[in-house]
Structure 1
Amino acid sequence: MSKSIAWRLALAIALTCALVLSVIGVFLYRSLASELAFRDDQALLGRLEQVRALLHDSDSLEALQERPRLYQNMLGNLDSVLLVNREDGSPLIAINPHQQALAHVQPIAQAQAPRRSDIKTADATVLLAGMAQGPAGETLSVTVGKRLDEREQMLASYRMRLYGAVGLGALMAFGLGLLLLRRGLTPLRELAHAMAGIDPRSLDQRMAADNVPAELKEPVQALNAMLARLEDSFARLSQFSADLAHEIRTPLHNLLGSNSLALNQSRSPAEYQEVLASNIEEYERLNRMAENLMFLARAEHGQRPLQLQVLDLREVGDGLCDYFEALAEDRQLQLDNQLSGPLMADQQLLQRALGNLLANAVRHAQPGSTVRLLRRDDAEYCWTGVHNLGPAIDPQHIDKLFDRFYRVDPSRAQPGDSGGLGLAIVHSIMQLHGGQVRVVSDASGTLFELGFARDHR
């Protein structure tokens, strides 16, 4: 459950709501506390002025002492404090319902109007003191105050309500968020259910992208693209397995047949040597096929690291021409190396790729013609190619030339060829280099080109 996206998002929503409600609650709490303090302070300021006026307008201090209800009614509750002292400090009026010890507050002058800054807070009580004049001009000191118990109780109650509101709001946000998220994630569950029904026999199925939410359109499209690639790869793998079985069956059939004939009757040593020589040719064919397949597997899985270096194409071309010179002479062909300039590439892989192209060119070129190694540059690539004169390749074969075991004319397969893997190896080598390979074939001949990005030069 802790890994559920819906639960995590619902919890995040709840925490966010709790944070927002907490900020709002703090603001409201502080606003209320400030408003209550302001009102209490204003009432205290007015009370000092009223007591001052009462003392000044009274007939005598004795009359005030005899009629305390005048100022007791004015105070109005048990949390209020009123002390009136004579100049010598003796009390004239003392109203202190809780009989608490009051802190000393410096009184303001008689002629000075009280301000909020004159109010002091001590022992959960706000106090304000000021000088006043009695009926006979006597100097008096007046202290008015109010206990904060009622205000604190009100704020404590308000705080508890805020805590409850924040907690309840967070729980409601979590519950509603979880409910809405689970409903919102329904398309994902439907998508997962549809994906669960896809197996190797139904790779042609695609996810419907029309009725999914906008946020899922790109993932669904990417999933469909992946399914298309898987379908294509699976089809290629199936075809590769069939082609591999076919290619291996031929030499194995030849080996079984020749060995069976050799064992059916006694033969001379020369005849046995001929059978062994024929078997060696088939073994070499199988060995080349295994090596080529191993190279392709390593190249596709990135297990063949590149050893890039600056190569002199002229030297590379001369070495290939020397290697294929004898085969070219047997077929009455001329080799023309027109490669030149530097190229950043893996020397062994470049030689293998150009060697495979040159072997194909020599094999299919018209007798008496010239096979050329060419180079040209454009804005993005350095192109090295092999051109030969011969029958044009049918356009229907062009896109399949680099598939494994594909041959334009299987009947022309020869014991020394690459087993239909030569061009596939060329394609893998160019993929390792981050380049590309292409072929153009028409009445003027056939040209295979290897494109190396110019930043590899």
Structure 2
Amino acid sequence: MRAALRHSLALRLATVLVLVVALVAAGLGAYLYRAFVAEIERRDDIQLLGKLRQVQVVLGRPGADELVRAQPGFFRDTMSGQENSLVRIVGAGGRVLADINPGSERYPVPTAGGAPAGWVARSGAPGRVVAGSARLGADPVKVVVARAYGERSAMFARYRERIVAASLVSALAAAALAVLLLRRGLRPLRQVADHAGLVRPGTLAQRLDTGMAPSELWSLIEAFNAMLDRLEEGYARLSGFSADLAHEFRTPVANMIGQSQVMLAHPRGAAEYEGLIVSNIEELERLARMIDAMLFLARAHQEEVILARRQVAAREELERVAGFFEGMAEERGLRLACTGEAVFPADPTLLRQALANLVSNALRHADPGSAVTLDAVRHGDTVELSVSNQGACIAQAHLARLFERFYRADASRSDAEGSTGLGLSIVSAIMGLHGGTARIEAEGREVRFTLAFPAA
């Protein structure tokens, strides 16, 4: 359970969404808090400057010197009577003419006419102080106005608390909304998973529909459907191959069993038993060739065959293979002819095996007295080796399937030569390993097999 949660995509997305919302809410709250604090401080500074101006105006009136001596509290009253408002009037030589400071606060005295300065009261509350010049009668004086903002600090604290609470509520709301949206948004993924769980050999024809899925999942669904196409095709081929394999194995085994039962039904001579053994050995050799061919095909399709590529001369390889089949051609009254020149990279052993399978096939099906031609030609980046012969016409319906395992154009599937029906399949597999292609063309009684190799 813990491992599932640790690797949960929904949990990861929900966590990221909650963190993003919390960070955005916190950032927005911090910005709004700073903007609010700056605006309050600006307004307080404007108000403080206004109060300084009020004191300056009062000091410029007639009788102000007597007012300073007899009623200094009047200047605090001028500032709306706020107890936390402080006023100091300093005369020439630094003599303090009036100092309204009930709490004996110590605050700095800024330069007259300068911007308001900050200070901290004994209670810890922030304060602001500003100074200006005025005239008391005929004498110049310096006026200092200060104020501590204890209520402002409490207001800012409450505002911070509300911002933190709003951020937490936003994060919790985002978490709930993320879970809801992710459950709904990931529903197509669950449908894909449910469909994948229903895939069985008998249900490979089912496909997912992209019509109701979000566009972000189209590539996944298309890849999944393509995988099902490949699985369906592979399973169909495997089923057909299993049936063909059973048929091909059953024939020689049935032959050996039948012949042996007939031979044992009555006493026989040594020559007859010897003939039975020879016949069984031939069938067993055919089975051994078939098994070897199947093992090669299995390794080739799993890409377990390692190619030993080197530059080969096409004409030399064609003549080598033709020389090997020269005796078989003479027995059938056929001629072998090699033409063309080309050099290209290939595995010599596998190349000779592919050519030998094609030549053997051509000799078996060529008309007596005709010629089997082996040709090499280069077309740009491709080298083509072809084996052609004159023989029985092949219907177009059979051409595309001749490279399939055990497929024969002869519906009876009999072959007096003991063919395994895998030769052309091996040719196709060898070409796949080389990155090339194998094709067949038939025109009238002429049949041509062509192997196309990359020239580089």
Q: Give distance in 2, aligned partners of 1:285 and 1:115.
A: 112
Matches within 5 A, 1:276-355: 276-355=277-356
1:57 alignment counterpart: 61
The number of residue pairs the alignment matches comes to: 447
Q: Is the 8 A contact 1:288 1:418 kept in 2?
A: no
Alignment of 1:59-74 (within 5 A): 59-74=63-78
Percent of aligned pairs with the same amino acid:
38
Which residue is equivalent to 1:111? none
User: What is the rounded CA distance, in whole Å, between the counterparts of 1:38 and 1:280 in structure 2?
Assistant: 109
Question: Could you say if the C-alpha distance between residues 156 and 246 of structure 1 is closer, same or farther in structure 2, counting changes exceeding 3 Å?
Answer: same
**Are residues 1:10 and 2:14 paired?**
yes
Among residues 79, 91, 99, which one is paired with 1:94 in the alignment?
Answer: 99
Cα distance between partner residues in 1 of 2:305 and 2:8:
41
Please tell me whether the aligned partners of residues 107 and 119 of structure 2 are also in contact (alpha carbons under 8 angstroms): no
Deviation at 1:394, TM superposition (A): 1.0
Q: Tell me if 1:250 matches 2:248.
A: no
C-alpha spacing 1:224/1:60, structure 2 compared with 1 (3 Å): closer
1:80 maps to a residue whose letter is S
355-364 vs 185-194, greater mean Cα deviation:
185-194
Instruction: State the alpha-carbon separation in 2 of the partners of residues 328 and 182 from structure 1.
Output: 73
Which of 61, 84, 100 matches 2:89? 84
- Residues 83, 142 of structure 1: 8 Å contact kept: yes
Deviation larger for 141-150 or 312-321: 141-150
Q: Residue 266 and residue 12 in structure 1: after superposition, are their counterparts in 2 closer, same or farther (change >3 A)?
A: same
- Report the AA paired with residue 304 of structure 1: V
Structure 2: distance between partners of 1:398 and 1:2? 55
Give secondary structure in 1 for the equivalent of 2:401: coil
User: Would the aligned equivalents of 1:299 and 1:432 in 2 still touch at CA under 8 Å?
Assistant: yes
Alignment of 1:125 with 2:127, yes or no, is yes
d(CA) in 2 for partners of 1:429, 1:98: 102
Provide the C-alpha distance between the structure 2 equivalents of 1:197 and 1:182, rounded to a whole number of angstroms.
22
Is the CA contact 2:21–2:171 (under 8 Å) kept in the aligned structure 1?
yes
- Note the C-alpha offset of 1:342: 0.5
Match of 2:45 among 17, 41, 48: 41
Aligned 8 A contact 1:55 1:133 in 2: yes
- Give the structure-2-normalised TM-score: 0.90
Give, as a single letter, the amino acid of the residue that structure 2 aligns with 1:284.
E
CA 1:97–1:204 in structure 2 vs 1: closer, same or farther (change >3 Å)? same
Q: Are the equivalent residues in 2 in contact too, given 1:56–1:134 (CA < 8 A)?
A: yes
Q: Secondary structure of 1:100's match?
A: coil
Please give the secondary structure, in 1, of the residue aligned with 2:224: helix
The answer to whether the Cα contact below 8 Å between 1:13 and 1:173 also exists between their aligned partners in 2 is yes
Q: Given that residues 310 and 348 in structure 2 are in contact (C-alpha distance below 8 angstroms), is that contact kept between their aligned partners in structure 1?
A: yes
SS at match of 1:84: strand
Q: Is the 8 A contact 1:107 1:141 kept in 2?
A: no
**Contact conserved, 2:363 with 2:372, CA < 8 A, in 1?**
yes
For the Cα contact (< 8 Å) 2:342–2:378, is it kept in 1?
A: no
The C-alpha deviation readout for 1:76-100, integer Å capped at 9, x for no partner, is 3233221223334443222224322
Structure 2: runs of 5 or more not aligned: none
Q: CA deviation at 1:161?
A: 1.4
Shift of 1:55: 2.0
- Cα distance in 2, alignment partners of residues 100 and 415 from structure 1: 122
Name the residue aligned to 1:213. Answer: 214
* Deviating more after overlay: 81-90 vs 229-238: 81-90
Structure 1: runs of 5 or more not aligned:
109-113
Counterpart CA distance in 1 for 2:164 and 2:412 is 88
Note closer, same or farther for the CA distance 1:376–1:417 as it changes in structure 2 (3 Å cut).
farther
Distance 1:100 1:263 in 2: 131
1:46-72 Cα shifts (integer Å, max 9, x gaps): 232322232232514332242344312
Structure 1 residue 329: Cα displacement: 0.8
Greater shift in the superposed pair: 241-250 or 39-48: 39-48
Cα displacement (A) at 1:355: 1.3
Shift of the alpha carbon at 1:278?
1.9
Amino acid at match of 1:143: V
Aligned residue for 1:57, secondary structure, equals coil
Q: Higher mean Cα deviation, 386-395 or 248-257? A: 248-257
Q: 1:412 to 1:5 in 2, by over 3 A?
A: closer
Conserved? CA contact 2:131–2:143, under 8 Å: yes
How far apart are 1:35 and its partner, in Å? 1.1
User: Matches of 1:223 and 1:200 in 2, distance apart?
Assistant: 16
Write the letter of the residue equivalent to 1:158: Y
Question: What is the root-mean-square deviation of aligned Cα atoms in Å?
Answer: 2.4
- Residue 122 of structure 1 and its aligned partner are, at CA, apart by 5.2
Residue 126 of structure 1 aligns with an amino acid whose one-letter code is R
Partner of 1:167: 168
Judge conservation of contact 2:350–2:430 (CA < 8 Å) in 1: yes
